Structure 1
Amino acid sequence: MLNILSWLFGIVGLIIVIPATIPFLGWANYFAMPFLILGIILGFLSSSTSGRTFCIIVTILAVIRLFLGGGLL
């Protein structure tokens, strides 16, 4: 059950991250981060690792986009 919740939080995060790759919308990645972090936490509590891995990959994409846009110090 926790793995399914992890996948759902990851999908919500991905839905926010995809439009955030457009220039001037990079700030939307900050809204995706809480969903992705919660998905990673739920993935760690789950016995399966697929949801956690998905959330980690989407988080890496969001962090790279923030880094390239100058959003992270």
Structure 2
Amino acid sequence: MLNLLSLIVGIVAFPVMLIGLIPLLGWLNWLVVPLAILGLALGALSESNTGRNLNIVVLIVGGVRLWLGGFIL
């Protein structure tokens, strides 16, 4: 059940992260990173790795985008 919740959070965060890759929309990653952390926590508590792995990818890409944009854009 927790893996399903983690997957749902990851599936919601993934398209927002993709939109945040567009220049001047990087501020959306400030919403993605906490969502991915929540999904990662839910995935860590579950027995399966699928949701956790999805949220790790979303967290890394969103974090790198924030870092490259100077944590502003």
TM-score by length of 1: 0.93
Aligned positions, number: 72
Look up the match of 1:38. Answer: 38
Deviation at 1:67, TM superposition (A): 0.8
Q: Sequence identity of aligned pairs in percent? A: 46
Equivalent-residue separation in structure 2 for 1:32 and 1:67 (angstroms):
14
TM-score by length of 2: 0.93
Pairwise CA RMSD? 1.1
Equivalent-residue separation in structure 2 for 1:62 and 1:45 (angstroms):
22
What's the secondary structure of 1:47's corresponding residue? coil
Look up the match of 1:12. Answer: 12
Q: Structure 1: where are the runs of 5+ without partners? A: none
Look up the match of 2:63. Answer: 63
Equivalent-residue separation in structure 2 for 1:59 and 1:19 (angstroms):
14
Q: Structure 1 residue runs of 4+, over 6 Å off?
A: none
Q: Structure 2: where are the runs of 5+ without partners? A: none
